[in-house]
Chains A and B, each alone.
Chain A
Amino acid sequence: MKILSVFIENKPKKLSKIIQELSKEGIEILGLAIADAGDFGIVRLILDDPKKGASTLSKHEMIANIQDVVGINVNNSTISEIAKILGENNVNIEDALGFGFIENQKILVLKVDNTELAKNILSKEGFKIY
């Protein structure tokens, strides 16, 4: 699956501006996480249409790009299980981007160093991958 990463200054109204512009275009936000580094940070967004989200934000002079990540259905499993499987197969988790909900399913979103490999392994183990 794809997420949208947006550069953001750590100031009031910056986040609400992003959300407003997306909602105006009818884009649904399925998940949101913020990684911050003091004065600035990156907002991670799970959207129903990340491409449209990127072009909407670009139009408003915001800095955004789309990234490939692994979404894993975790309705019936734990994070530690997943981490263990990935670790055993030498896939490094670079960032945990939090949880989102797609069609009422709880999705764990991970950024890993080898997205394709991670998807294959987890599918084989019976996980539903997004």
Chain B
Amino acid sequence: MNFKSREEILEYQNKKLRCCVEYASKNSRFFKNILKNFDLTPDDIKSIEDLQKLPFTTKNDLRDNYPFGLTAVPMDEIVRFHASSGTTGKSTVVYYTRNDLDTWSDLMARVLSTTGLTKKDSMQIIYNYGFFTGGFGFHYGAERLGISVIPTGSGNTKKQIEIMRDFGTTSFTSTPSYAIHLGETAEEMSIIPEKDLKLKIGVFGGEPWGEGMRQRIEELFHINAYDNYGLSELCGPGVAVECTEKEGLHVWEDYFIMEVIDPKTGELVGEGERGELVFTPLWKEAMPIFRYRTRDISRVFKEKCNCGLHFRKIERLHGRSDDMLIIRGVNIFPSQIEEVILENPIFKGHYSIIVERKESLDTLTIEIEVTKDLFTGNLKDLIELKEKVEEKLNNVLLVKANVRLVEEGAIPRSQGKAQRVIDKRNIGGIK
């Protein structure tokens, strides 16, 4: 990964892309069909610029070819299956050869070392081990780096904290919302992180989270919290991660070509503009895939990173193009709402976003839990807080939002991806 310049990376990408096209054109029935339908030969795709001749691959393509339609190897070469978490409906299946798993482990080892972890560390893997790629991805990557893996899996919050304390765990990975739940449970158990725990790093992902949540997690555990990015269709976690600068996520461009498109037109956006991320992995044997539309919205930074890596950085994810709520014609990402809420220390990240349709008008209600620590007992303070958040939300979202303060514990806790948005509108077809 010691690339000395962007040019070197581009040259390497072009070379790898030609290999991938050659490989897929021979082995993937799915890709052969694409070439045939678009009247292309492998020679037509020689560089990143040529990539635009190819159509996008979408989640629907994976669903239509469920379960094994994108394979490029005989079934006996496949050593692992995973399936997407099904955030947006029916799950999709992905598959790996021995080499695929090897490369994925390397990518994940790189993710972990970029956050400062070394073989001296231990890591509690607080993800579900199963079809979801999070558990196994982190597990194999951590092992590859020589980290002592503590495969606790998800759930059983109190036990997780006891193990952290008893094992002297130095790092952990989970969804950010579960990390907050863990931290609050530790508080309830009277665990003092600086005294009782040896944690120093946490790596989080699986759902969009903002700077407010990062601060909260870092305060709760006295750790550095890093964002990582990936999706099962590309491998799982291991596509991008924050370095210790905490200012954007480096994409492993020697393994993935990244494009940013306008989700409506499919055209590439201008440099540094926000759009949907599209990736072409340059290493997959079992399931070669080209121009995969992630539905994730971000932008590429122009500036070089102080850490010295030449891999370009993407902004922390704003949300998914299909998480986006359209309320009275305005596009709203749940992460925008979260940022506003977490500016106020009285709130600790437990909230839900409720969209309803009343007399053919969409209404947006944000339920936020009030916490013990900062409750003054004055009604005036609560009303002022509610009005302040409402005003800020109106300014940020350009849509009127009602804030409803609720009691602690009123919003259900999740062990995996938090169900933040409750859309009660009944609009068939449009999600």
Contact = CB atoms under 8 A, between A and B. Distances in A.
For the complex, would chain A's binding face be called helix, strand, loop or mixed by DSSP majority?
strand
Given A9-B410, A58-B372, A63-B370, A35 B377 contact: no
Interface string B366-397: 00001110011111001100100000000000
A62 B372 CA distance: 8
Contacts of A40: 382, 404-406
A66 B372 CA distance: 12
A10 to B, nearest CB: 10
A41 interface: yes
B407 interface: yes
Given A37-B386, A42-B379, A63 B372 contact: yes
22 contacts: A5-B375, A5-B377, A5-B378, A7-B375, A7-B382, A7-B407, A36-B379, A37-B379, A37-B386, A40-B404, A42-B377, A42-B382, A61-B407, A62-B408, A63-B371, A63-B375, A63-B408, A64-B375, A65-B372, A65-B375, A65-B377, A95-B379
B409 interface: yes
Contacts of B379: 35-37, 41-42, 95
A34 B47 CA distance: 71
Nearest to B387: A37
Given A7-B382, A40-B382, A42-B382, A63 B376 contact: no
Those 10 A-B pairs whose CB atoms lie nearest each other, nearest first: A5-B377, A35-B379, A39-B404, A67-B377, A61-B409, A40-B405, A65-B377, A63-B375, A42-B379, A37-B383
Interface residues of B, number: 18
Contacts of B386: 37
Contacts, number: 52
A40 B407 CA distance: 9
B406 A37 contact: no
Interface in A33-72: 35-37, 39-42, 58, 61-67
Contacts of B409: 61
Contacts of B406: 9, 40
Q: Which of A37, A62, A67, A95 has the most CB of B within 10 A?
A: A37
Contacts of A35: 379
A58 B382 CA distance: 19
A75 B340 CA distance: 50
Q: Which of B371, B377, B382, B406 has the most CB of A within 10 A?
A: B377
A110 interface: no
Interface in B282-326: none
Interface of B: 370-372, 375-379, 382-383, 386, 404-410
A21 B404 CA distance: 25
B376 A37 contact: no
Contacts of A14: 407
Contact of A39 (B375, B377, B405, B408): B405
A67 B381 CA distance: 14
A63 B382 contact: no
Given A9-B407, A37-B379, 19 more contacts: A7-B370, A7-B375, A7-B382, A14-B407, A37-B386, A39-B404, A40-B382, A40-B405, A58-B372, A61-B407, A61-B409, A62-B408, A63-B370, A63-B371, A63-B372, A63-B375, A64-B375, A65-B372, A67-B377
Contacts of B408: 61-63
Nearest to B381: A42
A118 interface: no
A44 to B, nearest CB: 9
Nearest to A10: B404
A107 interface: no
A25 B85 CA distance: 46
A33 to B, nearest CB: 11
A108 interface: no
Contacts of A109: none
A74 B149 CA distance: 69
Contacts of B376: 65
A63 to B, nearest CB: 5
